[in-house]
């Protein structure tokens, strides 16, 4: 059967499956109800691992399984064991059993039971597995092995149940559902959990965290020239043009998801106040309450915008980089103005009202989508270096008056992606700048190791926790200086004078 006919028949099948489960997927599960079942069946990581143990030809030339074994996700369920000291303390403080608590399970494990260990490969399965991220496999297993699959659109892949994680929007949503939180999948981390000992989740920059988990993929632009040619011919355009443009898209999605988290939590609090009491402090900016009481302080200097001074705002860290993203998309959007309906609700009373937040949070969506659309249209052509350079300079300018550690981190990661690929500054200048920011803001991830990291390797959240209070924001701002004079001189422009006829 040709792929097209197959796709048509599978689409119909997928549609019927969707009809069968309509109404299950959307609603926010109150409290500790089990997760909604996906429209497709999980086939089990055993199966994926059987093929993806070695390279799958030229398209997938990374041995995924080996990378995943070294990835913290493959053993993320171990954090729910009472043998873990931190977890035991949380269990006592909260009066729960972590492994039996739906929200812990939703973020730390794969949602269905699978054999604990693949005997042949010794791979653990109870952690976050292939299908937790890529989607349940029953619909795409067959067709995804055909070469024509590569060039399907994200929407077509999604119709078979595969989240097209090469697509920066799908990828950011996937990662943020756990690394920020998502109500629809019950991935909600509460302030009680934090206070009982859960590590604060660091600000999330998709491409840096992708590298930090030990990446088991290559970009199409890193693959063989032959593959790149085929991709160009097929009109392949899922990935976007460069790490920096992807990072900017990720910041826009994070901005949107931070608002959605508050909105969806507010809706859940209205229908189920017992399990979802209002307000939930963890959907607000941690630094609003957790900072040193000094006068003057960085918090006062950073200002409150349109917010009544002293009121906690929603999560702030995506905003600076998102502002650069809007500029790059050629839009005049002011992030504060974009969020002003939300700010209005927060001004009406501290923390806002559940009803108010539920109603106003939709407004930002259209402009964010428009900016994403512009950024994914960047191409790897002769204009790319110029676009990158302008974005780099905007990030540098924003960093020079940044107010807080987490926002500075997001800017720094974006900058590093830009400087890593843009040759407008000499190599040694770029390398020094990257090293300086990495040290100052503790940006380095531990080298992923399996089965458990060597004792001296702290998980990333631990290094970031230690660095935040000790960081002098003045030094951070100074580190965002990279004089344009250091830039390589532009090539002498030779004016082309049209030959007279």
In the numeric block, the tokens 């103005």 are attached to 337
- Find the angle CA(64)-CA(254)-CA(216) to the nearest 5 degrees: 10
Binding of residue 318 to ligand HEC (CB under 6 A): no
Which member of 38, 161, 202, 418 binds ligand HEC (CB under 6 A)? 202
| Burial class of 28 by CB neighbour count within 10 A (0 to 12, 13 to 18, 19+) | buried
Cα–Cα distances (Å) from 227 to 167, 215, 224, 472, 480, in that order, read 18, 20, 5, 47, 38
- Asked if 268 contacts 28 with a C-beta cutoff of 8 angstroms, the reply is yes
Please choose, from the candidates 45, 63, 38, the residue with its C-alpha nearest in 3D space to the C-alpha of residue 53. Answer: 63
Within positions 7 to 66, which residues make up the interface with ligand HEC, using CB under 6 A? 43, 45, 47-52, 56-57, 59-62, 64-65
Nearer to ligand HEC, 132 or 394 (CB): 132
Nearer to ligand HEC, 273 or 289 (CB): 289
Binding of residue 328 to ligand HEC (CB under 6 A): no
Binding of residue 365 to ligand HEC (CB under 6 A): no
- Find the angle CA(17)-CA(265)-CA(29) to the nearest 5 degrees: 35
CA dihedral sign of residues 250, 256, 259, 265? negative
Which member of 97, 218, 377, 488 binds ligand HEC (CB under 6 A)? 218
Which member of 79, 408, 412, 419 binds ligand HEC (CB under 6 A)? 79
Nearer to ligand HEC, 28 or 482 (CB): 28
Which member of 194, 236, 278, 304 binds ligand HEC (CB under 6 A)? 194
Nearer to ligand HEC, 316 or 320 (CB): 316
Report the chain's C-alpha Rg in angstroms: 23
Q: How far apart are CA 338 and CA 25, in angstroms?
A: 29
Q: How far apart are CA 70 and CA 450, in angstroms?
A: 5
Please choose, from the candidates 268, 254, 271, 250, the residue with its C-alpha nearest in 3D space to the C-alpha of residue 314. Answer: 254
Residues in the chain: 501
Residue span binding ligand HEC (CB under 6 A) among the ranges 18-26, 211-219, 469-477, 493-501 = 211-219
Nearer to ligand HEC, 264 or 424 (CB): 264
Pick left, alpha or beta for residue 310 (phi over 0 → left; psi -120 to 50 → alpha; otherwise beta): left
Which member of 289, 308, 435, 478 binds ligand HEC (CB under 6 A)? 289
Nearer to ligand HEC, 48 or 354 (CB): 48
Total residues binding ligand HEC (CB under 6 A): 88
Nearer to ligand HEC, 217 or 278 (CB): 217
Within positions 96 to 125, which residues make up the interface with ligand HEC, using CB under 6 A? 98, 101, 103-104, 107-108
Q: How far apart are CA 312 and CA 351, in angstroms?
A: 7
Within positions 156 to 175, which residues make up the interface with ligand HEC, using CB under 6 A? 165-166, 171, 174-175
Which member of 7, 29, 124, 177 binds ligand HEC (CB under 6 A)? 177
Which member of 6, 41, 144, 380 binds ligand HEC (CB under 6 A)? 144
Binding of residue 260 to ligand HEC (CB under 6 A): no
Binding of residue 133 to ligand HEC (CB under 6 A): yes
Question: 446: how many CB neighbours lie within 10 A of its CB?
Answer: 16
Binding of residue 221 to ligand HEC (CB under 6 A): no
Encoded tokens for 187: 């991935």
Nearer to ligand HEC, 269 or 482 (CB): 269
Which member of 7, 39, 126, 213 binds ligand HEC (CB under 6 A)? 213
Task: Name the minimum Å distance from CB 488 to ligand HEC.
Answer: 30
Binding of residue 231 to ligand HEC (CB under 6 A): no
In the numeric block, the tokens 């930090």 are attached to 212
Q: How far apart are CA 143 and CA 407, in angstroms?
A: 42
In the numeric block, the tokens 């923390």 are attached to 351
Nearer to ligand HEC, 280 or 367 (CB): 280
Q: How far apart are CA 329 and CA 324, in angstroms?
A: 9
CA dihedral sign of residues 265, 271, 276, 278? positive
Binding of residue 288 to ligand HEC (CB under 6 A): yes
Within positions 418 to 477, which residues make up the interface with ligand HEC, using CB under 6 A? 445-446, 459-461
Residue span binding ligand HEC (CB under 6 A) among the ranges 200-208, 248-256, 262-270, 433-441 = 200-208
């Amino acid at each position: 059967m040709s792929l097209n006919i197959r796709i048509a028949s599978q689409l119909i099948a997928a549609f019927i499956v969707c009809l069968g489960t309509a109404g299950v997927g959307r609603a926010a599960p109150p409290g500790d109800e089990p997760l909604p079942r996906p429209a497709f069946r999980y086939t089990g990581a055993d199966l994926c691992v059987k093929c993806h143990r070695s390279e799958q030809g030229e398209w997938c030339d990374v041995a995924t399984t080996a990378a995943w074994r070294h990835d913290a996700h493959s053993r993320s369920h171990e954090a729910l064991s009472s043998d873990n000291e931190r977890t035991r303390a949380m269990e006592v403080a909260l009066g729960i059993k972590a492994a039996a608590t739906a929200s812990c399970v939703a973020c730390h494990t794969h949602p269905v039971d699978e054999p604990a260990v693949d005997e042949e490969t010794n791979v653990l399965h109870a952690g976050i597995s292939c299908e937790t991220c890529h989607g349940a496999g029953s619909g795409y297993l067959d067709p995804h092995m055909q070469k024509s699959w590569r060039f399907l659109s994200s929407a077509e892949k999604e119709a078979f149940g595969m989240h097209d994680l090469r697509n920066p929007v799908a990828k950011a949503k996937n990662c943020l559902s756990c690394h920020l939180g998502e109500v629809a999948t019950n991935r909600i981390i509460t302030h009680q959990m934090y206070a009982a000992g859960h590590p604060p989740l660091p600000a999330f920059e998709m491409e840096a965290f992708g590298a930090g988990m030990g990446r088991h993929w290559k970009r199409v632009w890193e693959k063989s020239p032959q593959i790149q040619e085929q991709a160009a011919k097929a009109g392949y355009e899922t990935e976007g043009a460069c790490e920096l443009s992807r990072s900017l898209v990720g910041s826009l999605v994070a901005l949107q998801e931070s608002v959605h988290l508050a909105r969806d939590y507010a809706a859940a609090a209205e229908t189920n106040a017992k399990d979802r009491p209002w307000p939930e402090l963890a959907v607000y900016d941690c630094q609003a309450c957790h900072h040193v009481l000094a006068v003057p302080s960085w918090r006062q200097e950073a200002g409150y915008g349109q917010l009544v001074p002293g009121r906690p705002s929603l999560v702030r860290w995506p905003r600076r980089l998102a502002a650069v993203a809007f500029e790059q998309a050629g839009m005049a959007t002011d992030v504060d103005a974009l969020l002003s309906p939300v700010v209005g609700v927060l001004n009406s009373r501290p923390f806002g009202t559940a009803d108010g937040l539920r109603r106003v949070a939709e407004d930002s969506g259209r402009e964010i989508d428009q900016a994403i659309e512009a950024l994914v249209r960047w191409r790897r052509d002769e204009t790319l270096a110029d676009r990158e350079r302008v974005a780099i300079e905007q990030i540098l300018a924003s960093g020079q008056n940044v107010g807080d550690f987490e926002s500075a981190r997001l800017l720094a990661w974006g900058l590093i992606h830009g400087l890593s690929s843009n040759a407008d500054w000499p190599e040694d200048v770029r390398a020094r700048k990257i090293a300086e920011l990495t040290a100052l803001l503790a940006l380095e991830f531990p080298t992923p190791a399996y089965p458990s990291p060597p004792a001296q390797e702290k998980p990333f959240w631990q290094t970031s926790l230690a660095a935040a209070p000790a960081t002098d924001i003045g030094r951070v701002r100074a580190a965002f200086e990279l004089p344009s004079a250091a830039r390589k001189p532009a090539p002498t422009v030779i004016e082309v004078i049209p030959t007279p006829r």
